[in-house]
Amino acid sequence: MLVKSAVPVIGGSLAYMHDPLILMRQLYQRHGPVAPVAMAGPGPAAFILGPEACGAALQNGDKAFVNGWEALVGPFFHRGLMLLDGPEHKQHRRILQQAFTRERLAGYTAALHPAVMSELRGWQAAERFPAYTWLKRLTLNLATQIFMGGHRIADPLELDRVNRAFVDCVQAAGAILRVAVAGNKWHRATRGRATLERFLGAHLPAARAAGGDDLFSVLTRVEDEDGTRFGDADVVNHMIFLLMAAHETTTSTVSTAMYYLGRHPDWQDRVRAEAAALGPTPTVEQLSALPDLDMVIKECQRLVAPVPVVARRVVKDTEVAGRHLPAGTRAFVCQQLSHYLPELWTSPEAFDPERFAPQRCEDRSHRFAWAPFGGGVHKCLGMAFSNIEARTVLAQVLRRFRWSVPTHYAPPMSNVSLPYPRDGLPVALRPTAPTGGGRPTPA
Ligand code: HEM
């Protein structure tokens, strides 16, 4: 029986929050690719470990798995694409894909440049510049501009309220107390979700009429090959989920890159040279052809996967890697462990972007050796957009600043929901061309 040999009850959740990688390694050593684990929540739970088992669960050959996100983020990201299953998921994905074509990407990218430039004007040289805190603010403001059309639809005060409501929804995903009690995270998120629904609902007719290139406008008119479009409620639900899916993950990638580039000035100089060769408003094609930056970003997503685990629920008895998984099991697919397995990667703890170079291709050691964007029918729909956004932000930061972190500094990570540096990632930030200093105060 799966739960019998589980690590002590609540042990799994606490051990995960302490250090997910240590927990995954221990379970893999003790149990192999399917490990029972006691995680907070109803019913038995198992970690799916190693590339073979992760691949099998993600590809879901016998349709035994459905998404398991509802209990974790469901109330606030209700009916987002990742929370749908079966034919309904397939149909919504088909329509949503039309919002992420190469042509649309070019439109979003053109809007990204001025927005990033304007955000970076607030960055100033400092000995302890909290890079993560500022990146988070930057990507949130980018989402408001690129996704919602920004100041076209609302004044800055209203947009601030919307941003706060959105942050409240995201924070509830990691709440320990998962019921609303006046003033707690769950309560704030419940109000936040209502604010977002009201805001987007009120602006939807204008977004439809505007026919603009921002994601909100685009979602009101995209259709699949049969001409099926989203209803108003679906547009709102997808917008709220997309804001969440895009924000934390891209922030994590860029912040991890700032950390490792701060520790490795040789790599920082290499990628700065690539960024410097770009014009101020590079196209999607130009941003896609930056081999050093590409390797750095992949390496950062390997070392700190923005989504270390994806959640599934077993709906009929099945087998993974020869191990029985009964219906009702909550399955956590741990792609982060695969990123550190010594049988797949040379010196997996080391920052070594060239492992992705054509002559080494360590990521091809197994189809699921490197899987920060998941796999199967739920594979990330925003992968291309996120790559362009991360490259745009990093290229602009590299052109304006150089930075470093102390030799033995490693950021203390929070793993309550998606991983982030609890100390805001302080870096010593200097302009590439000296223009004076100042002490930053993020809002
Ligand atoms: C570094 C950045 C990102 C990472 C690492 C990431 C990772 C992931 C992962 C692992 C999944 C699969 C979840 C599952 O299988 O249950 C996923 C799904 C998804 N992501 Fe991303 N994501 C990123 C950025 C984005 C962005 C920028 C967007 C949108 C603009 C986005 C939109 C989505 C959507 C819509 C899904 C659901 C796909 C489906 O269920 O069919 N993601 N993402």
Instruction: Dump pLDDT digits (tens) for 148-192.
Output: 876 666 777 888 888 889 888 887 876 767 788 888 888 999 999
- Strands 45-48 and 65-67 turn out to be unpaired
Q: Which atom of ligand 1 is nearest to 377's Cα? A: 41
- Single out the residue of 131, 136, 129, 121 nearest to residue 396, CA to CA: 121
Ligand 1 centroid–CA 380 distance in Å is: 3
How many Cβ atoms are within 10 Å of 402's Cβ, its own excluded? Answer: 19
139-160 residue pLDDT tens: 988 888 888 876 666 777 888 8
Q: What's the rounded Cα separation, in Å, for the pair 102 and 145?
A: 19
Q: Which residues line ligand 1 (CB under 6 A)?
A: 67, 81-82, 93, 242, 245-246, 249-250, 253, 306-307, 310, 372-374, 378, 380-382, 385-386
Mind listing the pLDDT tens digit of every residue in the chain (443 residues)?
343 444 444 577 888 888 999 999 999 999 999 999 988 778 899 999 999 999 999 999 999 999 999 888 878 889 999 999 999 999 999 999 999 999 999 999 998 999 999 999 999 999 999 999 999 999 988 888 888 876 666 777 888 888 889 888 887 876 767 788 888 888 999 999 999 999 999 999 988 988 888 899 999 999 999 999 999 999 999 999 998 888 889 999 999 999 999 999 999 999 999 999 998 899 999 999 999 999 999 999 999 999 999 999 999 999 999 999 999 999 999 999 999 999 999 999 999 999 999 999 999 999 999 999 999 999 999 999 999 999 999 999 999 999 999 999 999 999 988 899 999 999 999 999 754 444 444 43
The single-letter code of the amino acid at 228 is T
Taking the domains of the chain in order of start, what are their residue ranges?
11-431
Instruction: Determine the pLDDT at residue 434.
Output: 55
Residue nearest to atom 9 of ligand 1 (CA): 373
CA 178 to chain centre: 22
Ligand 1 centroid–CA 378 distance in Å is: 8
Q: Which one of 218, 256, 330, 380 would you pick to mutate in the ligand 1 pocket, going by the greatest count of ligand atoms within 8 A of its CB? A: 380
- Single out the residue of 139, 182, 134 nearest to residue 163, CA to CA: 139
- Single out the residue of 293, 323, 311, 321 nearest to residue 398, CA to CA: 293
Contacts for 171 with CB less than 8 Å, ≥ 6 apart: 185, 188, 189, 417
DSSP 43: S
- Single out the residue of 416, 71, 74, 419 nearest to residue 241, CA to CA: 74
Contacts for 140 with CB less than 8 Å, ≥ 6 apart: 163, 166, 167, 247
Q: Which atom of ligand 1 is nearest to 89's Cα? A: 41
Output the six-digit token pair for 295.
Answer: 């390797």
CA 324 to chain centre: 31
Ligand 1 centroid–CA 373 distance in Å is: 6
Ligand 1 centroid–CA 20 distance in Å is: 20
Neighbour-count burial for 51-62, b at 16+ CB within 10 Å, e otherwise:
bbbbbbbbebee
Residue nearest to atom 36 of ligand 1 (CA): 380
First to last CA, the chain: 51
CB 95 within 8 A of CB 222: yes
CA 22 to chain centre: 21
CB 214 within 8 A of CB 146: yes
Ligand 1 centroid–CA 381 distance in Å is: 6
- Single out the residue of 46, 43, 33, 36 nearest to residue 5, CA to CA: 36
Residue nearest to atom 17 of ligand 1 (CA): 380
7-39 residue pLDDT tens: 444 577 888 888 999 999 999 999 999 999 988
The single-letter code of the amino acid at 270 is R
Ligand 1 centroid–CA 146 distance in Å is: 17
Output the six-digit token pair for 206.
Answer: 């204008």
Residue nearest to atom 11 of ligand 1 (CA): 380
Q: What angle do CA 84, 90, 92 make, to 5 degrees?
A: 70
Instruction: State pTM to two decimals.
Output: 0.93
Architecture of domain 11-431: Orthogonal Bundle (1.10)
Q: What's the rounded Cα separation, in Å, for the pair 3 and 43?
A: 9
